[in-house]
């Protein structure tokens, strides 16, 4: 089974939370609003900062902020920042591990197209897509309807 790490799942939640405001946010504040333990939030934020997804600001008014809007952050970037390159098997290009049976394997190199397809799919889904999907359809306001001003219509006399 292909499964993302718990830290990657937390990273998506933290990034979506950071998008809720343009102000910097602290790891204790994010932990309080997401329910993720603060040491885990701090670890995730540090890793995301190293991956270039969030910026940090030191000092009394310090904290973290997004470096790009959610619509410009593909899920693949979050996975790569937290877990490293997307590699389904040890023999795919970019894998950090090596296969012990490399010389004898009849499917050596055949996983690359599968890995590329999964990487492409994860690159086409942004965190903005994830955020939108989290809002139940019944509560979504169509973009066009959100801009329409309500008018008062009085019954004819």
Q: How is domain 6-135 classified at the CATH fold level?
A: Arc Repressor Mutant, subunit A (1.10.10)
Query: In Å, how far from its chain's centre is CA 151?
Result: 39
Cβ atoms of 70 and 11 within 8 Å: the answer is no
Angle at alpha carbon of residue 111, lines to 76 and 100, rounded to 5°: 110
pLDDT at 144: 42
SS (H, E, C) 10-73: HHHHHHHHHCCCCCCECHHHHHHHHCCCHHHHHHHHHHHHHCCCEEEECCCCCEEEECCCHHHC
Domain-by-domain residue ranges, the chain?
6-135
pLDDT at 140: 44
pLDDT tens, N- to C-terminus, the chain (157 residues): 578 899 999 999 999 999 988 889 999 999 999 999 999 999 999 999 999 999 998 888 889 999 999 999 999 999 999 998 887 776 666 666 666 666 667 776 778 888 889 999 999 999 999 887 765 555 444 444 444 444 455 556 5
pLDDT at 61: 83
φ/ψ of 63, rounded to 5, equals: 160, -155
Taken in order 117, 122, 123, 129, the sign of the CA dihedral is positive
pLDDT at 148: 45
* DSSP 8-state assignment for residue 139: G
* DSSP 8-state assignment for residue 138: G
pLDDT at 19: 93
Q: Which three-class secondary structure state does DSSP give residue 126?
A: strand
Query: What is the spatial distance between Cα 27 and Cα 45, in angstroms, rounded to a whole number?
Result: 8
Query: What is the spatial distance between Cα 91 and Cα 12, in angstroms, rounded to a whole number?
Result: 28
């Amino acid at each position: 089974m292909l499964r993302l790490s718990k830290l990657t799942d937390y990273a998506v939640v933290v990034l979506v939370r950071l998008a809720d405001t343009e102000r910097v946010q602290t790891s204790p504040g994010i932990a309080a609003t997401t329910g993720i333990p603060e040491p885990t939030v701090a670890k995730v934020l540090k890793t995301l900062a190293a991956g270039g997804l969030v910026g940090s600001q030191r000092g009394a008014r310090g904290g973290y902020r997004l470096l790009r809007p959610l619509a410009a952050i593909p899920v693949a970037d979050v996975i790569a920042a937290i877990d490293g390159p997307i590699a389904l098997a040890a023999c795919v290009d970019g894998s950090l591990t090596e296969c012990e049976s490399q010389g004898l394997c009849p499917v050596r190199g055949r996983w690359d197209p599968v890995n590329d397809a999964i990487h492409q799919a994860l690159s086409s889904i942004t965190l903005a897509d994830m955020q939108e999907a989290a809002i139940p359809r019944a509560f979504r306001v169509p973009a066009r309807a959100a801009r329409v001003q309500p008018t008062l219509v009085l019954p004819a006399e």
